[in-house]
Structure 1
Amino acid sequence: MIHQKVKEAINQYSEELTSLRRQLHSEPELSWQEENTTKFVCAYLEKLGISYRRTEPTGVIAEIKGGKPGKTVALRGDMDALSVQQLNKDLAYASKEEGKMHACGHDAHTAMLLIAAKALNEVKEELPGNVRLIFQPAEEVAEGAKALVEQGAVEGVDNVFGIHIWSQIPTHKVSCSPGPSFASADLFTVTFTGRGGHGAMPQDCIDAAIVASAFVMNVQPVISRTIDPQQPAVLTVGKMTVGTRFNVIAENAVIEGTVRCFDPSTRDHIETQLTHYADQVAALYGATAKVEYTRGTQAVINDEYSANLVQKVAAEAFGEEVVYHEKPTMGGEDFSFYLDEVPGSFALVGCGNPEKDTEWAHHHGRFNIDEDALATGAELYAQYAWAYLNE
């Protein structure tokens, strides 16, 4: 199941792998702005002699043609950064872009996939099938995967595999359990309209601030009292915009939030209840409500066969002790759009190490990774592709 030459190649290229990741980390680009990152990937693939095509407006799809006929497996790595200010500026490879940072590890994903491609390309004549390489933009806005699917990323693909570096589990550990992994992630906006007026004359007004506050303080029973407690779900109000001046009663209030869950019927129910609840709260005060509910990513549900194969590959490549079972997260991942098309799985590779200060949460300004985890991720990409094609 494990290709020894691939293992040796990943080990040989470990310093280059770290260098690639650091260069990408220092030059972050936001979603749909990954122009230089796209050029960087293309140049690297050209050097390896791997055929590729650019996707629009950014991103790359490449393919390693095996020397023998067989299936096609896709490997995906995302590459966009976040609008986060880097706080650990003492790092030699800290972001050069003010207010932009690779605070989620996508720099690592891109670097790992490039080195995995390099190792697989060296044994391509032995491959019974093809390896599709997907360097995806715009994961952070949940748009990139869907756009690349529309541009043919998984056409002719039999299986798809992705990795996310994960600071919440110890370095080198690999988690990929069958079933739910990441939750669906939806956005809602509620606009309440009352009747504004002078702050000294509330009897003539309908205070949108009061209406919105009542909604925020009381909306949680949609989760706690209307859905099965064995179906996990989260409803979070993250933003409220209300009022224009200290002595003016607000006419409008806008609330923004997110809903996360794993079950499609639970998702439908929450959307319906959210609208119903907003209407009823508004009616209670004589106001009106308008709800906009936008569905983002689907839940990431790992295929049983694929997830079990990841565990077997990890155990054989790194030892039984690396196999880890992380609980499903309410975080969202647009890898789900690939799984809507073909079976596959999404693994977490641990990079948390307190001795190296790499246990900060994803999206935090001090986020960093234990770079010892890079080789684990790169080899897992490559060995999974080899194992799947040889199954």
Structure 2
Amino acid sequence: MRTDFMASAKAVADDVIAWRRHLHANPEVAFQERETAAFVADKLRDFGYEPEYVGATGVMAVLETGRPGITLGLRADMDALPGTETTNLPFASRKTGVMHACGHDAHTAILLGVAKVMAQHKKNLAGRIKFFFQPAEEPLAGARTFTAAGKLDDVDGLAALHVMTNLETGSIGTRAGVLMAASDTFTITVNGKASHGAEPHHGIDAVLIASHIVTALQSFVSRNVGPLDSAVITIGKITGGVAFNVIAEQVVLEGTLRTLKVETREKAFARIRAIIDHTTAMFGGEATLTLFEGSPPLSCDPAWVAKLRKAALRHIPESHLRTIAEPSMGGEDFAIMLEKAPGVFWNLGARAPGAPQTYLHSGAFMLDEAALPLGVAITCELAAESLGE
């Protein structure tokens, strides 16, 4: 007899919501999730697991069925964001300048619910489930906590979700192939030579050089990226100069690169370096590039997307299962895990019907907690489908 995972999800719904509210009220930013990790580990012990810390704030637990089968990895991110919450919720952030504005509190609570339910039904399964409670998704760094420790070396498939308020509660969305862009950041330090503003011929103007670099970088997108491909180079911060009448000796540019293809990403790295070197040399200055590689493009495996669809259709009508039309240029470091094993990333609708949309990374961000049991049920269904119930 097949397990009714929606009934199981509803049975733990009050707990899941309570956990989410506790986490929401006590947010912690990337790599500082010590209280969050301790909370997660305590709950996992309550469910009968033996949690293991991975790094300072990552937590992993394994459900061993004792029967041969695949190893499935399920991941939730735990970190919050800098920001001031303006929701006036009774469980709003208690920490000044920190809030859960991206739903990671919900992701963590949902995966705890899944861990509790699956522990109750492991007699029907074959194989293993690894639960990854990940720090530091926001800086696109925390997934490497697990990959560097070898915790994904034996994983055969992966799944993770993200709550989204552009979808109503009761709907989900995903797509086969590339879903999200590679996301990288960089810092360019331009060095010139200071002189009086009235005597620029005695100096090397770092502001002028930086200005040419900013405009030249856009030529990569318009002239080196195919018209049916996508890339974004954004310089979001410029710092330099000491006074209005002094030729600047140094300017620092900070930016982000987003690409949908691995080959476009590699080409962009090379072109950014070339543009900086040649532009700087043209004006007689010098420059250094510091590139921080974030996450690669996130691509969902078609077979795992099909498994997710099958699992979801046990709980929602087909009209509520959305195929995301176009990839997002946003980044997500679950892509780092997906380099180790195929899998699926999906969006869980979390806007109450008729409610106005609030936006991720906003102080006003709110989600519909009625969505959480569906996240538990579908994830459990996917796990059971993968482990042979």
Measured against the shorter chain, the TM-score band is: over 0.9
Q: Is the 8 A contact 1:176 1:310 kept in 2?
A: no
1:33-182 mapped onto 2 (5 Å cutoff): 33-66=32-65, 68-88=67-87, 90-182=88-180
**Equivalent position of 1:24 in the other structure:** 23
Q: What do the CA deviations read for 1:65-99 (whole angstroms, capped 9, x no partner)?
A: 225432221110110111122232x1111111111
Which of the numbers 364, 378, 381 marks the counterpart of 2:379? 381
Structure 2: 5+ residue runs without aligned partners? none
Amino acid at match of 2:117: A
> Greater shift after overlay, 105-114 or 361-370?
361-370
After TM superposition, the structure 1 = structure 2 runs for residues 1-391 of structure 1, keeping only pairs within 5 Å, are: 3-66=2-65, 68-88=67-87, 90-326=88-324, 327-353=326-352, 355-357=354-356, 359-390=357-388
Using a 3 Å threshold, how does the CA distance of structure 1 residues 54 and 14 change in structure 2: closer, same or farther? same
Kindly state the Cα deviation for residue 286 of structure 1 after the two structures are TM-superposed.
2.6
- Matches of 1:386 and 1:176, distance apart in 2: 20
User: Which runs of no fewer than 5 residues in structure 1 stay unpaired?
Assistant: none
C-alpha displacement of 1:369: 1.2
Question: C-alpha distance in 1, partners of 2:2/2:34?
Answer: 34
Q: What is the Cα deviation at residue 38 of structure 1?
A: 0.7
Aligned partners of 2:205 and 2:248 also within 8 Å: yes
Separation in structure 2 between the aligned mates of residue 127 and residue 65 of structure 1, nearest angstrom: 9
Give percent identity, aligned residues only. 35
AA partner of residue 161 (structure 2): I
Q: Distance in 2 between matches of 1:255 and 1:338?
A: 30
- Listed one character per residue, the Cα deviations across residues 255-280 of structure 1 (whole Å, up to 9, x for unaligned) are 01111112111111111111221223
Contact 2:171 2:316 in 1 (8 A): no
The one-letter code of the counterpart of 1:342 is: A
Q: What's the C-alpha RMSD, in Å, of the aligned pairs?
A: 1.8
- Count of aligned residue pairs for this structure pair: 388
TM superposition shift of 1:288: 2.1
CA distance in 2, matches of 1:61, 1:318: 30
Moved more, 152-161 or 303-312: 152-161
Q: CA deviation at 1:28?
A: 0.5
Tell whether the 8 Å contact from 1:78 to 1:109 is kept in structure 2 after alignment: yes
Q: Tell me how far 1:126 sits from its aligned partner.
A: 1.1
- Whether contact under 8 Å (1:68, 1:125) holds in the other structure is no
1:205 is displaced (CA, Å) by 2.1
Q: For 1:30 and 1:338, how far apart are their aligned partners in 2?
A: 21
Please tell me the residue identity of whatever aligns with 1:176: T
Paired residue type of 1:197? S
